[in-house]
Amino acid sequence: MKFLRDFLDKQKPQFEKGGRFEKLQSTFDAFETFLFVPDKTTFSGAHVRDAIDLKRTMSVVIIAMLPALLFGIWNAGYQHFLSLGQSPGFWPIVFYGLMKVLPIVIVSYVAGLGVEFIFAQYRGHEVNEGYLVSGMLIPLVMPIDIPLWMVALASIFAVVIGKEAFGGTGMNVFNPALLARAFVFFAYPVKITGDTIWTGGLSKGEGVVDGFSGATPLGNAAAGAIDKIPSLQDLFFGFIPGSIGETSKLAILIGAAILILTGIGSWRVMLSGLLGGLSMTLIFNLFAANEYMKIDPLTQMMMGSFLFGIVFMATDPVTAAQTTRGKWIYGFLIGFIAIMIRVFNPAYPEGMMLSILLLNAFAPLIDHYVVEANINKRLKRATTSVKS
Amino acid sequence: MSNVIKIKKGLNINLIGEAEKTIKELSTDQFAIKPTDFIGVFPKLLVKEGDVVKAGSPLFMDKYRDNILFSSPVSGKVREIKRGAKRVLLEVKIESDGKSESIDLGAGDPLKMKREDVLDKLLKSGVWPFIRQRPYSVIANPADQPKSIFISTFDTAPLAPDNDLIVHGQGEAFQKGLDVLSTLTKGKIHLNIDASATQSKVFTNSKGVQINKFSGPHPAGNVGVQINKIDPINKGEVVWYLYPQDVIIIGKLFLTGSYDSTRIVALTGSEVLKPTYYKTNVGANLESLVKNNLTSVEKRFISGNVLTGTKIDPDGYVGFYSSQITVIKEGNYHEFLGWALPGFDKFSFSRSFPSFLFSKRKYSLDTNLHGGERALVMTGQFEKVFPFDIYPMQLLKAIMAENIDQMEQLGIYEIDEEDFALCEVIDTSKTNIQEIVRKGLDLMRKEMS
């Protein structure tokens, strides 16, 4: 790799201040540090440092999302051919899925990273790796038939309004990927709701065999067609229509295991989120005023993006609560409110997105009260020691 | 007393290069006292180059607290006064005459002396700077009444010296030192020992103190953690602390009337061929300490341990408070796709490298930062190595925002930069956390004075 290093060292002066391409300094730096961990050494404080950095952290998250992505690609093809009433075998299915999903991924990365690079240069920062994850999350929460220009627009919106407007990575209040989803949801409601967009080609009016509706389990449930909800097995493995990454609970659980094992995703948020969803469902079961409220907890948890949201969205460390106790409360409320919105408000079949965004907004408040308790404890100790 | 205080959060970093448990005599005639070792001190020189000094002769004093003197560790003459940029006083170098003569301050039983007389002796001999205070880790103010005095008899930092070995045979002087300290506070003297490792009778048979047992990973040996668990500091309160070797120096001062700055230093680290202990005096020259005992790679010399020590030059001097020298590799190299490779040999607190499967492994770490500085993204990591009832991230952010009220509310009086060292090591964003904490403490100290 010496020739590569030599090449970089030779080009570097051109990108530094006063060089020909000084406007591309951040971009150069991003690529250089991608190829080589920098030779920077400690100059203050601890002399040795952990081998982990943000690149490593983010790549672990991406690895955790890969099973969901791969299954999503396969399922995109599977659903498409199902709607046509064909079963052409594994490779054509995967090929179709790739042709549909890959462009979305590429567009999301190019659009989002482009904005990131511009802002990093403008601010004189190094490029933060946060978007590597957001850029993958955005395709995973999109319906398969979404127009590519919408993905681009949503990605740019997510980075500019969701992140840079707040001061960049680490400062944002809302999860950028969810914001992208919310953007298309509210800006182009016609394009992202309904039964046709979840299956490749369906929205263009390609042929549909009898009995294939394309509706997601949530769509069925909201429409009162409880009997049309697929079997637990299909829900678990993900042979159902839905956003690209959300359908296979198995793939999501593999991702969750990776996140928990490496310690990078908060198991507290995941567990409390599940408990929250479970509690709400059980309360609904208790009253059971309509068919939707009667759905058992297991089915409820496996419909829609509930699991996907808890594992990949709610755990975003920047927008989640930061304190340990706060994380429990935050996760629980996300699960709780997601099921509530889903059941009570049929206009928004997917309560998860709104629930996480809502709790993103409240996370600082939750933290505030948790920290306040600590402050009061300290004050109390101080006053007792003065008295004694 | 038999209750063991268990520290659960923390991290032991196992490094290669632990000192062999034998003590060698070091023959060097070069020593120096570095004013930069003392936080918040403005040095005013009292000697000039060529002056003849004895052990205990004052070299400089604190301009704003003129009763605090800093004295020569050995007898000899002032060889050089080294200044840096803007004429900042860096080192007062002493060449020893090998006689180790000390000024005579007269022996005395501290328990029969008045507090003022004890203070007077400590100040005049120049041993006072060994006694420091929390908050802020500055030299204690003789006018204060500390609510208690803390001595940590064990060090949990990487490759830390074994105090049991260091104090061996010094029981009398140690006890005398404790007696001296007992005249300085109306509160308790807390002598904190390692529940499983501390064996030395010097510590366990100490009288007039409360012995507390601790167990757990680093930072269990940090005095800040121990204060926090036993007698936490509230606003306006002051706790004094010092290291075991310094208690012995104080004890000897009252036993013999002379300033004996003997200091045992552990030479450690992966780049030392034969790591071992050396017996010398405070402020010994590094060159003679490491002579013919180093590997040939590019090295970093640290006075202290890898977490909190100070980088010194190869011809520098051991710090005033240090009893350890660590020598490790410099890490100024590029690593191809280092963040993406599996990394079986990488040290990481996170489990994102397979090396976490081998928890007993000893590492030879270098000074590479392993990444670029980023925004603070990850949460919940610091809490795993920070055994205080304090929110580390929130406190850091309050310091960065220079929000005095919030810093106080979040418990800045209870912590010191060394308590954040582990947070800094494991930080994904490569932030210089100790520097931030120091800034916060300095700001607070200015605000409060």
- Of residues B239 and A304, more confidence is placed in B239
Is A116 a member of any domain? Answer: yes
Mean pLDDT of chain A: 85
Residue B281 confidence (pLDDT) above 90:
yes
pLDDT (0 to 100) of residue A168: 79
- Same structural domain, A241 and A282: no
Question: Which strands, in side-by-side order, build the sheet including B239-242?
Answer: B4-6, B210-215, B188-194, B148-152, B239-242, B132-134
Is A42 a member of any domain? Answer: no
Compute the average pLDDT of residues A169-181: 88
| Structure-token match 């005599």, residue found | B25
Residue B308 confidence (pLDDT) above 90:
yes
Q: Which of B194, B189, B191 is nearest to B220 (CA)?
A: B194
Which of A1, A28, A31, A37 to probe the B interface (max B CBs under 10 A)? A37
Q: Answer whether B395's CB lies under 8 Å from B386's CB.
A: no
Where on the phi/psi map is residue B434: left (φ > 0), alpha (ψ -120 to 50), or beta?
alpha
pLDDT (0 to 100) of residue B377: 81
Q: Which of B343, B337, B371 is nearest to A34 (CA)?
A: B337
Compute the average pLDDT of residues A321-331: 93
Q: Give the confidence band of A200 by pLDDT, cuts at 50, 70, 90.
A: low
- Number of Cβ within 10 Å of residue B402's Cβ equals 12
A193, two tokens: 């709701």
Q: Given an 8 Å threshold on Cβ–Cβ distance, is A37 in contact with B331?
A: no
Tens digits of per-residue pLDDT, A28-78? Answer: 777 777 777 777 888 888 999 998 888 888 889 999 999 999 999 999 888
Tens digits of per-residue pLDDT, A342-364? Answer: 888 766 767 888 899 999 999 99
Q: Give the confidence band of B244 by pLDDT, cuts at 50, 70, 90.
A: very high
Query: Minimal Cα distance from A385: which residue of B?
Result: B234
The beta-carbon neighbor of A37 closest among B158, B371, B379 is: B371
Angstrom distance (rounded) from CA B238 to CA B140:
9
Tens digits of per-residue pLDDT, B55-86? Answer: 999 999 999 999 999 999 999 999 999 999 99
**B374: helix, strand or coil:** coil
Angstrom distance (rounded) from CA B105 to CA B288:
31
Query: Minimal Cα distance from A37: which residue of B?
Result: B335
- Same structural domain, A178 and A246: yes
Residue A130: its chain B contacts at CB < 8 A? 377
The beta-carbon neighbor of A55 closest among B339, B391, B435 is: B339
Which of B239, B352, B381, B390 to probe the A interface (max A CBs under 10 A)? B352
- Same structural domain, A181 and A321: no
pLDDT (0 to 100) of residue B409: 93
Residue A128: its chain B contacts at CB < 8 A? 374-375, 377
Residue A54: its chain B contacts at CB < 8 A? 371, 374, 377, 428-429
Angstrom distance (rounded) from CA A219 to CA A209:
19
Q: Given an 8 Å threshold on Cβ–Cβ distance, is B435 in contact with A169?
A: no
pLDDT (0 to 100) of residue A188: 83
The beta-carbon neighbor of A52 closest among B237, B350, B433 is: B350
Residue A26: its chain B contacts at CB < 8 A? none
Q: How far is A57 from chain B (nearest CA, A)?
A: 7
B79, two tokens: 């060889």
- Find the distance separating the first CA and the last CA of chain B, reported in whole Å: 37
Q: Which of B448, B434, B52, B60 is nearest to B233 (CA)?
A: B448
Query: Minimal Cα distance from A320: which residue of B?
Result: B379
- Same structural domain, A123 and A220: yes
Q: Given an 8 Å threshold on Cβ–Cβ distance, is B335 in contact with A37?
A: yes
Q: Given an 8 Å threshold on Cβ–Cβ distance, is B434 in contact with A46?
A: yes
Q: Give the structural domain span for A125.
A: 19-37+53-264
Q: Give the confidence band of A205 by pLDDT, cuts at 50, 70, 90.
A: low
Query: Minimal Cα distance from B413: which residue of A?
Result: A378
| Structure-token match 């990481």, residue found | B348
Angstrom distance (rounded) from CA A130 to CA A142:
19
Q: Answer whether A61's CB lies under 8 Å from A137's CB.
A: no
Q: Answer whether B64's CB lies under 8 Å from B251's CB.
A: no
% of chain A residues with pLDDT over 90: 34
The beta-carbon neighbor of A128 closest among B232, B374, B426 is: B374
Ranked by mean pLDDT, which of A275-289, A339-353, B351-365 comes out on top? A275-289
Compute the average pLDDT of residues B376-395: 90
Is A331 a member of any domain? Answer: yes
Is A325 a member of any domain? Answer: yes
Is A14 a member of any domain? Answer: no
Q: Give the confidence band of A278 by pLDDT, cuts at 50, 70, 90.
A: very high
- Same structural domain, A163 and A100: yes
Q: For chain A, how many structural domains are there in total? A: 2
Is A43 a member of any domain? Answer: no
Q: Give the confidence band of A209 by pLDDT, cuts at 50, 70, 90.
A: low
Q: Given an 8 Å threshold on Cβ–Cβ distance, is B232 in contact with A48?
A: no
Angstrom distance (rounded) from CA B71 to CA A379:
41
Q: Give the confidence band of A211 by pLDDT, cuts at 50, 70, 90.
A: low
Angstrom distance (rounded) from CA A298 to CA A263:
26
Partner residues linked to B363 by β-bridges: B15
pLDDT (0 to 100) of residue A234: 84
% of chain B residues with pLDDT over 70: 100
Q: How far is B198 from chain A (nearest CA, A)?
A: 26
Q: How far is B145 from chain A (nearest CA, A)?
A: 15
Tens digits of per-residue pLDDT, B142-198? Answer: 999 999 999 999 999 999 999 999 999 999 999 999 999 999 999 999 999 999 888
Q: Answer whether B32's CB lies under 8 Å from B317's CB.
A: yes
Residue A365: its chain B contacts at CB < 8 A? none
Query: Last residue of some domain: A228, A249, A264?
Result: A264
The beta-carbon neighbor of A56 closest among B300, B333, B352 is: B352
Q: How far is B379 from chain A (nearest CA, A)?
A: 6
Q: Answer whether B367's CB lies under 8 Å from A47's CB.
A: yes
- Same structural domain, A112 and A196: yes
Query: Minimal Cα distance from A167: which residue of B?
Result: B375
pLDDT (0 to 100) of residue A207: 57
- Same structural domain, A248 and A272: no
Q: Which of B225, B197, B328 is nearest to B10 (CA)?
A: B225
Q: Give the confidence band of A4 by pLDDT, cuts at 50, 70, 90.
A: confident
Q: How far is B401 from chain A (nearest CA, A)?
A: 14
pLDDT (0 to 100) of residue A198: 74
Dihedral pair phi/psi, residue B236, rounded to 5°: 90, -10
The beta-carbon neighbor of A48 closest among B335, B367, B390 is: B367
Query: Last residue of some domain: A264, A291, A324?
Result: A264
Q: Given an 8 Å threshold on Cβ–Cβ distance, is A261 in contact with B346?
A: no
Strands B89-96 and B30-33: antiparallel
Which of B271, B339, B418 to probe the A interface (max A CBs under 10 A)? B339
Residue A25 confidence (pLDDT) above 90:
no
pLDDT (0 to 100) of residue A242: 85
Tens digits of per-residue pLDDT, B13-25? Answer: 999 999 999 999 9
pLDDT (0 to 100) of residue A199: 73
Dihedral pair phi/psi, residue B60, rounded to 5°: -155, 170
- Of residues A231 and B153, more confidence is placed in B153
Residue A326: its chain B contacts at CB < 8 A? none
Cα A316 to Cα A178, A249, A266, A319, B34, distances in angstroms:
11, 19, 9, 6, 47
Mean pLDDT of chain B: 92
Cα dihedral A379, A384, A387, A388 sign: negative
Q: Given an 8 Å threshold on Cβ–Cβ distance, is A48 in contact with B306?
A: yes
Residue B367: its chain A contacts at CB < 8 A? 41-42, 47-48
Query: Minimal Cα distance from B394: which residue of A?
Result: A371
- Same structural domain, A347 and A209: no
| Structure-token match 């989120």, residue found | A273
Question: How many Cβ pairs within 8 Å bridge chains A and B?
Answer: 219
Q: Given an 8 Å threshold on Cβ–Cβ distance, is B335 in contact with A36?
A: yes
Q: How far is B146 from chain A (nearest CA, A)?
A: 14
Strands B43-45 and B58-62: antiparallel
Tens digits of per-residue pLDDT, B20-52? Answer: 999 999 889 999 999 999 999 999 999 999 999
| Structure-token match 């304190």, residue found | A323
Q: Given an 8 Å threshold on Cβ–Cβ distance, is B234 in contact with A385?
A: yes
Residue A387 confidence (pLDDT) above 70:
no
- Same structural domain, A273 and A154: no
Q: Given an 8 Å threshold on Cβ–Cβ distance, is B331 in contact with A39?
A: yes
pLDDT (0 to 100) of residue A28: 74
pTM flag (> 0.80)? yes
Residue B428: its chain A contacts at CB < 8 A? 50, 52-54, 56-57
- Of residues A294 and B294, more confidence is placed in B294
- Same structural domain, A256 and A290: no
Angstrom distance (rounded) from CA A267 to CA A262:
11
Compute the average pLDDT of residues A321-346: 91
Q: Given an 8 Å threshold on Cβ–Cβ distance, is A51 in contact with B335?
A: no
Tell me which H or E stretch contains A376.
helix A351-387
Which of B222, B368, B383, B434 to probe the A interface (max A CBs under 10 A)? B368
| Structure-token match 């308590």, residue found | B419
Residue A287 CB-density burial (10 A; 0-12 exposed, 13-18 middle, 19+ buried): exposed
Query: Last residue of some domain: A264, A282, A301?
Result: A264
Q: How far is A180 from chain B (nearest CA, A)?
A: 20
- Same structural domain, A259 and A292: no
pLDDT (0 to 100) of residue A204: 62
Cα B257 to Cα B47, B104, B124, B129, B253, distances in angstroms:
23, 6, 12, 18, 5
- Number of Cβ within 10 Å of residue B397's Cβ equals 17
For chain B, the domains span 4-256, 262-357, 382-448
Q: Is the peptide bond before B219 cis (omega within 30 degrees of 0)?
A: yes
- Of residues A304 and B73, more confidence is placed in B73
- Same structural domain, A60 and A177: yes
| Helices of type H across B156-300 | 163-166, 171-182, 201-204, 223-230, 244-256, 286-290
Residue A272: its chain B contacts at CB < 8 A? none
Where on the phi/psi map is residue A137: left (φ > 0), alpha (ψ -120 to 50), or beta?
alpha
The beta-carbon neighbor of A41 closest among B330, B352, B394 is: B330
pLDDT (0 to 100) of residue A227: 74
Tell me the residue length of chain B. 449
| Structure-token match 């490749």, residue found | A200
Query: Minimal Cα distance from B409: which residue of A?
Result: A375
Dihedral pair phi/psi, residue B117, rounded to 5°: -70, -40
One-character DSSP codes across B47-96: --TT-EE-BT-EEEEETTEEEEEEE-SSSEEEEEEEE-GGG-EEEEEEEE
The CATH number of the domain covering residues in B262-357? 3.10.20.600
Residue B411: its chain A contacts at CB < 8 A? 374, 378
